[in-house]
Amino acid sequence: MIGNILKMQTTLNDQKGEKKNNDTVQYTLPVGDDLLAMNEHIGETIKLSYKDEIHCINCGRKTKKSFAQGHCYPCFRRLASCDMCIMKPETCHFAAGTCREPEWGKANCFIPHYVYLANSSGIKVGITRGTQIPTRWMDQGAAQALPVFQVATRLQSGLLEVVLKKHVSDRTDWRKMLKSDAEPKNLQAIRDELLENCSAEIENIKKDHGADDIKVIDEKVVEIKYPITEYPEKIKSLNFDKQAEIEGCLMGIKGQYLILDSGVLNIRKFAGYNIEVNFV
């Protein structure tokens, strides 16, 4: 199977397609026009061969270098989805009239967003659009996740995240995440403590940005399992820009990483790369 790859698609369903807590993530790798079910190949040897060709995941043009996980440079500079405010939503500049793509901004940043706690390499705070739950958590390799706030805009979620990350990290230690299962945490207790410690700052955000648009929500913790038979003792990062052929026994998948006995490969990083995939 050969073609341009994209980040792996994920579902959190049982064999009957019903969503359940404490279920195992199912992974599918897009390769060109095909979809490759990955879970069934765990335990087999996989060989991935880079064909020295990259195509932008937005416009399709051939590019020598990939920017922002799969874009050519013109798209990277033009698209609102590649702007810095996506990484730092508290810097949203839509109101200033400088959004790169105002219609895209209206469709993607002025819809319900969630501020959540997740447990991957430890407790972290994050934000996501409602349409990306639970995909966002699976992409980060979270073992547990708990929505804390529902808000009306991406800016509001970013402002709340800034407050909460004074007390918990907003980053995942990907090496730690790939070395073991996260130790279970009481996310609801951590949420309650954060809400108490940050109450004054949260109230200020509500006052300035609309109390009716910012809601604390009470939901169940989502438990997530990953298809892993063995964790690596040491983490070696594999990179198509440094080696055209990557081969090894597929020991598991977590986040957007293939865990091989020869190292770990971040599939999302190489979106748009033309890859031949074989199981040998």
Return the pLDDT at 119.
97
Could you read off the pLDDT of 203-227 as tens digits, one per residue? 999 999 999 999 999 999 999 999 9
Is 18 strand, coil or helix?
coil
Q: In this structure, is residue 140 part of a structural domain?
A: yes
Shared domain for 214 and 126, answered yes or no, is yes
Residues contacting 96, CB < 8 A, separation 6+: none
DSSP state of 220: P
Name the pLDDT band for 13 (thresholds 50, 70, 90): low
Shared domain for 130 and 201, answered yes or no, is yes
pLDDT at 17 > cutoff 90: no
Average pLDDT over residues 108-126: 96
Q: Integer distance in angstroms from the first to the last C-alpha of the chain?
A: 13
pLDDT at 14 > cutoff 80: no
Tell me how far apart the alpha carbons of residues 218 and 199 are, in angstroms, rounded to a whole number: 16
Q: pLDDT averaged over the chain?
A: 94
Q: Global pTM?
A: 0.92
Q: In this structure, is residue 89 part of a structural domain?
A: no
Element (DSSP H or E) covering residue 48: strand 45-54
Tell me how far apart the alpha carbons of residues 195 and 217 are, in angstroms, rounded to a whole number: 11
Shared domain for 156 and 207, answered yes or no, is yes
Could you read off the pLDDT of 30-39 as tens digits, one per residue? 999 999 999 9
Task: Show which of 180, 203, 224 is a domain's final residue.
Answer: 224
Shared domain for 19 and 117, answered yes or no, is no
Q: In this structure, is residue 104 part of a structural domain?
A: no
Shared domain for 218 and 236, answered yes or no, is no
Name the pLDDT band for 135 (thresholds 50, 70, 90): very high
Shared domain for 160 and 245, answered yes or no, is no
Could you read off the pLDDT of 239-261 as tens digits, one per residue? 999 999 999 999 999 999 999 99
| Closest CA relative to residue 260, chosen from 233, 232, 234 | 232
Q: In this structure, is residue 102 part of a structural domain?
A: no
Q: In this structure, is residue 10 part of a structural domain?
A: yes
Provide the domain limits for residue 201: 112-224
Shared domain for 123 and 204, answered yes or no, is yes
Number of independent structural domains in the chain: 2
